Amino acid sequence: RRFTELKHYSDELQSVISHLLRVRARVADRLYGVYKVHGNYGRVFSEWSAIEKEMGDGLQSAGHHMDVYAASIDDILEEEEHYADQLKEYLFYAEALRAVCRKHELMQYDLEMAAQDLTSKKQQCEELATGTVRTFSLKGMTSKLFGQETPEQREAKIKVLEEQIQEGEEQLKSKNLEGRDFVKSAWADIERFKEQKNHDLKEALISYAVMQISMCKKGIQVWTNAKECFSKM
């Protein structure tokens, strides 16, 4: 049950992070466009300043602030990409969780097949020992059509089956131990990764928010500076 829930969780985690990264990419594209368009302000103010005498210096200074603002987006997006990469790491984390779940499923399948094979061999051994066939089989039909096996043949087959049953029981025991060890070690790793994930994602999201706040403050400062330039004209 725990591994089934973990598989659902990993699917949902990957879906949420993928969607978050797509939204971030769209916002970044729009933001890039907004910043770069401010470069047009810089160009227009500079061209305008060339034809003005009293207003020229103020327009030129305002244009400079706009140029700096437009150019700053490259560093901003580079920093933002760093936080996006931290989120992308947890796409691989989600995939690793699914891989653990798949391995557990395969181990469980092997265990069930080994148990089923052992049960089948025990049934065959019992049928040979008692001479009764509990289920329909091709072997049973063959015996009816062509006669029963000799006691020596039956004893030889019983001996082989007993050896196979012993091997099967040892194999089943080994697979059970292997499965328990896997669950124990895998779950310890999963709990540790969950704690690390909580820390990493919290840190990345807070840093992203702080970066956005800082970016907005820089935008306010640019327009404040531009306002002062216009006031001095």
185 Cβ contact partners less than 8 Å away, ≥ 6 residues apart:
none
pLDDT exceeds 60 at position 9: yes
d(CA 72, CA 211): 13
Residue 229: what pLDDT?
93
> How confident is the prediction for the chain on average, in pLDDT?
87
Structural domains of the chain ordered from first start: 1-231 (1.20.1270.60)
Which candidate, 30, 37, 39, places its Cα nearest to that of 80?
A: 30
What is the pLDDT averaged over residues 2-30? 92
Q: Of 28-37, 125-134, 163-172, which has the strongest mean pLDDT?
A: 28-37
Residue 157: what pLDDT?
82
What is the pLDDT averaged over residues 202-214? 92
What is the pLDDT averaged over residues 26-55? 92
Q: Are 207 and 142 in contact (CB under 8 A)?
A: no
What crossing angle do the helices spanning 56-71 and 73-130 adopt, rounded to 10°?
A: 20
What is the pLDDT averaged over residues 92-120? 89
pTM above 0.75, yes or no: no
pLDDT tens digits for range 75-89: 999 989 999 998 898
Which candidate, 151, 154, 152, places its Cα nearest to that of 139?
A: 154
Residue 122: what pLDDT?
86
Residue 146: what pLDDT?
44
- Residue 106 DSSP SS3: helix
d(CA 149, CA 147): 7
- Give the CA angle between residues 192, 198, 201 to the nearest 5°: 130
Q: Are 159 and 102 in contact (CB under 8 A)?
A: no
Q: Are 129 and 158 in contact (CB under 8 A)?
A: yes
Residue 16: what pLDDT?
93
What is the pLDDT averaged over residues 7-24? 92
pLDDT exceeds 90 at position 126: no
For the chain, give the number of residues.
233
